[in-house]
């Protein structure tokens, strides 16, 4: 989550939204709490979220997927907390020109593999696209 930068952007777009931040690093959560006292924060791994079933409308993950220990379990956990029609926006690094094969962190970021992981969890992939300039690959899944 870094310091909650994405949540601050979300608040600009949806000022009345209830904001929840999750990160495995307690120091990142503490910094975010200081910057955003209006939000709720949890120190959690993506594989075990401290949120009730069907309790959120949108989940954003930016540049952390390649660090998750059990990606399949984490995506299932995200599906669990999403309401029907809720969406999961996953953005992570996908180096161009096959450079991803040189790092084990990025091998699981293969767009085709992400589509399968989403489908296996019960999320319908609405969109996938590459942002070349940023080496990002974005997948949007919906709980239906």
Q: Which domains does the chain have, with CATH numbers?
A: 1-43 (no CATH), 52-143 (3.40.50.150)
pLDDT tier at 1, thresholds 50, 70, 90:
low
Record the tokens describing residue 33, joined without a space: 């709490």
Strands across the sheet containing 136-143? 56-62, 82-93, 136-143, 123-131
Identify whether the C-beta of residue 55 lies closer than 8 Å to the C-beta of residue 81. Answer: yes
Distance CA 95, CA 106 (A): 8
Which DSSP helix (H) or strand (E) runs through 113?
helix 111-121
pLDDT tier at 131, thresholds 50, 70, 90:
confident
* Phi, psi (deg, nearest 5) at residue 93: -70, 130
Distance CA 84, CA 118 (A): 15
Residue 54 DSSP one-character state: T
Q: Rounded to two decimals, what is the model's pTM?
A: 0.89
Distance CA 144, CA 132 (A): 30
Q: What is the pLDDT of residues 61-110, one digit of tens each?
A: 998 898 899 999 999 999 999 999 999 999 988 776 555 555 565 666 78
Distance CA 42, CA 117 (A): 24
Query: Distance of alpha carbon 124 from its chain centroid, rounded?
Result: 15
Q: What is the pLDDT of residues 9-55, one digit of tens each?
A: 999 999 999 999 999 999 999 999 999 999 999 999 999 999 999 99
Distance CA 4, CA 11 (A): 11
């Amino acid at each position: 989550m870094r310091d909650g930068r994405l949540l601050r952007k979300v608040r600009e777009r949806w000022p009345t939204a209830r904001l929840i931040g999750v990160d495995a690093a307690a120091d990142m959560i503490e910094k975010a709490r200081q910057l955003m006292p209006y939000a709720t924060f949890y120190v959690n791994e993506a594989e075990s979220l401290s949120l009730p079933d069907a309790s959120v409308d949108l989940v954003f993950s930016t540049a952390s997927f390649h660090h998750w220990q059990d990606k399949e379990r984490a995506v299932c956990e995200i599906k669990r907390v999403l309401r029907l029609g809720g969406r999961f926006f996953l953005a992570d690094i996908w180096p161009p020109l096959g450079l991803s094969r040189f790092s084990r962190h990025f091998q699981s970021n293969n767009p085709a593999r992400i589509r399968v992981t989403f489908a296996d969890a019960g999320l319908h992939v609405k969109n996938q696209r590459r942002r070349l300039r940023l080496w990002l690959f974005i997948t949007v899944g919906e709980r239906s």
